[in-house]
């Protein structure tokens, strides 16, 4: 027996990974509002402290995805924590760089 599938499959993901090297915010694929909302429902809307952001395989980024990234990077900067960012071309364009 297989698990029931949701009506709208996600094409993008937002995950928080905890590794020996620290916390990583990982975004991949088409990061739409549903993917961001799923992340926020698990972790809340306050930026999660991370050591790096891996967004190198993002192919599309919604307004809420851009908000999540910008808030995470801004919070790290304000706290004096350097955060390594691996952006895809889509992410670089969305963040104005």
Q: Is the pLDDT of residue 85 over 90?
A: yes
Phi and psi at 85, nearest 5°, equal -115, 125
Q: How many Å apart are CA 34 and CA 22, to the nearest integer?
A: 26
pLDDT number for residue 74: 95
Span 10-69, pLDDT tens digits: 689 999 999 998 999 999 999 999 999 999 999 999 999 999 999 999 999 999 999 999
**The two three-digit tokens of residue 94, written as one number:** 């969305």
| pTM for this entry | 0.86
For residue 61, what is the domain's CATH number?
Answer: 3.30.750.24
Question: Would residue 59 count as lying in a domain?
Answer: yes
The answer to whether the Cα torsion of 90, 58, 85, 67 is positive or negative is positive
Q: Which domain holds residue 75?
A: 12-94
pLDDT digits (tens, 9 = 90+) for 53-74: 999 999 999 999 999 999 999 9
When divided into structural domains, the chain yields a total of 1
């Amino acid at each position: 027996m297989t698990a029931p599938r949701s009506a709208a499959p996600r094409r993008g993901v937002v995950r928080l990974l905890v590794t020996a090297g620290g916390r990583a915010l990982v975004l991949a694929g088409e990061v739409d509002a549903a993917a961001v909302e799923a992340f926020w429902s698990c972790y809340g809307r306050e930026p999660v402290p991370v050591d790096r952001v891996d967004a190198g395989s993002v192919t599309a980024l919604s307004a809420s995805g851009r908000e999540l990234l910008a808030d995470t990077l801004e919070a790290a900067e304000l706290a004096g924590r350097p955060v390594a960012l691996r952006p895809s071309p889509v992410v670089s364009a969305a963040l104005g760089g």
